[in-house]
Amino acid sequence: MKKLSILGSTGSIGVSTLEIVAAHPDRFEVVALTAGNNLELLRQQIERFRPQLAVVLTEASAKTLRQTLSGGKTEILHGVPGLIAAATATETEMVVAAIVGAAGLVPTAAAISAGKDVALANKETLVTAGHLIMGMVREKGNRLYPVDSEHSAVFQSLQGHRAEDVKRIILTASGGPFFNLPPVRLAQVSIADALNHPNWSMGQKITIDSATMMNKGLEVIEARWLFDIPGEKIAVNIHPQSIIHSMVEYVDGCVMAQLGVPDMKAPIAYALTYPERVSTGVKPLDLTTLSGLTFFAPDNSRFPALRLAYRALLDGESMPAVLNAANEVAVEAFLEGKIPFTAISRAIESTMDVHQPHVLSSIEEVLSVDRWARDKTREMLSLSRF
What is the mean pLDDT for each group of 10 consecutive residues in the chain (386 residues)? 97 96 97 95 96 96 91 91 97 96 93 97 95 96 95 97 97 88 84 80 83 95 97 96 96 97 95 96 93 91 93 96 97 94 95 97 97 96 78
What one-character-per-residue DSSP string does 274-338 give?
TT------PPPP-GGG------B---TTT-HHHHHHHHHHHH-TTHHHHHHHHHHHHHHHHHTTS
Output the pLDDT for position 57.
94
In angstroms, the CA 325 to CA 338 distance is 17
Pairing state between β 244-250 and 255-259: antiparallel
Q: 207 has which bridge partners? A: none
Helix H, strand E, coil C: the string for 69-132 is CCCCCCEEEEHHHHHHHHHCCCCCCEEEECCCCHHHHHHHHHHHHCCCEEEECCCHHHHHHHHH
Predicted model pTM? 0.93
Cis peptide upstream of residue 275 (ω within 30 degrees of 0) = yes
d(CA 291, CA 42): 41
Specify the length of the chain in residues.
386
Query: 379: which residues sit within 8 A by CB, 6+ positions away?
Result: none
* Residue 146 contacts residue 155 (beta carbons within 8 Å): yes
Confidence (pLDDT) at 369: 98
pLDDT at res. 385: 64
Q: What is the pLDDT of residue 300?
A: 83
Computed over its alpha carbons, how large is the radius of gyration of the chain? Answer: 20
Domain 2-146, CATH 3.40.605.10 — does that match?
Answer: no
Q: Taking a C-beta distance cutoff of 8 angstroms, is the pair 6, 30 a contact? A: yes
Q: Which of 116, 109, 154, 156 is nearest to 135 (CA)?
A: 109
Paired with 120 in beta bridges are 97, 146
